[in-house]
Amino acid sequence: MADIRMNDLEKQLRANKPSRVYFIYGSETYLKRQAVEKLLDACVSEDTAEFNYQRFDGSRMNAVELADATQQFPMLAERRCVLVEDYDFTKMSDIEADTMQDCINSVPDFCVLILWINDLDAGPRQSKVQKMAKLCSKIGSTMLLDTPRTGELAAMLVERAASIGSKLERPEAYHLLERCGNDMTTLYSELEKLSVYVGKKPITKETIDLLCPRSLEADVFRISRSIIRGDNDEAFRITSGLLAQKTEPIEIFMLLCSDFIDLYRAKCAASAGMSVKDVSSAFDADYARKEFRVTNAMRDHSSFSGARLRRYIELLFDAELKLKTARTDRKACLEQLVARLCAEGARR
């Protein structure tokens, strides 16, 4: 077997040929949950679930218990299903790791073992996670389900809208992404709300602006763009609104840093004759599935000089040092930073 995608999983299940082991991980919670639900729907009958389905909380399970569960014969059914949610492979002892490997290697044909990394912060680059994924891919299937790239997400939103009886065009799909972020659970929830509101009418940008709350990332983006175009009142209004909502100043600061770093990279890339694709590839860890950040930065960097942008970065660096001081009033520090950035932007 090998790493598979959602359509591969659906083919396996339609043919009634599930793998013995599934290792499901990645950054997109919605897709991971969808894969698990498809497996449970196909492999667990409601009539015999009491005998043939066992679910483990990974934080309270050991490899010996799992091995025992996978070796039990199914009753009145073709197969047995064992689901493990959020077992922390990164904290296994050597003995536990050996036992887990033996367990996975020994899963019988009458059992489907699902290892689901749901909320646990165990990225695919961690060595023990990689090792387990590699083992599972040899005898079963692995599913690395990260958030799709921006273009793919837009296409999925258009398709989803059509499936629930609404019409969403590509430009509006991109607008929804910029406003709400790229979390699929949030996006699909907002799309259903929009669909109910518009009925048979097309979903427009105006409707999206009316009904869909902006993500924190989108609001901070507006702060940075208000600063660089000299709209100080708007920058302060958005900042004050976020602080009034009890948003942590450090969260706002980190996103603000990201926006100005995007602009700095775009400025340097443009001077070197590089494209959006070049920048996305060079900083894949930052921009994978978030190419719109690069697109926006490449569009906006020309409105000010490189010298001014360096000054913005210096102000952000000074603020970071203050924010990391225990006695600093972080709210006041953020407000002072926005004021200084606005003052710098006002210089012509």
List phi, psi (to 5°) of 200. -85, -5
Report the predicted TM-score, pTM, of the whole model to 2 decimal places. Answer: 0.74
CB 72 within 8 A of CB 80: yes
pLDDT of residue 15: 94
Could you read off the pLDDT of 129-161 as tens digits, one per residue?
A: 888 889 999 999 999 998 888 888 999 999 999
pLDDT of residue 126: 66
pLDDT of residue 14: 95
Residue ranges for the chain with pLDDT beneath 50: none
CB 145 within 8 A of CB 31: yes
Say how far apart CA 342 and CA 325 lie, in whole Å.
24
Name which of 219, 221, 213 is nearest 189 in CA terms: 213
- DSSP E strands in 37-85: the ranges are 53-57, 80-85
Say how far apart CA 191 and CA 1 lie, in whole Å.
36
Structure tokens at 151: 């273009």
CB 176 within 8 A of CB 141: no
CB 298 within 8 A of CB 265: no
Does residue 176 sit in helix, strand or coil? helix
pLDDT of residue 193: 95
Domains and CATH numbers, the chain: 6-144 (3.40.50.300), 150-211 (1.10.8.60), 216-346 (1.20.272.10)
Residue 318 burial class via C-beta count within 10 angstroms: exposed 0-12, middle 13-18, buried 19 and up: middle
pLDDT of residue 314: 93
Structure tokens at 158: 């258009």
Helix axes 29-43, 6-14, angle to 10 degrees: 0
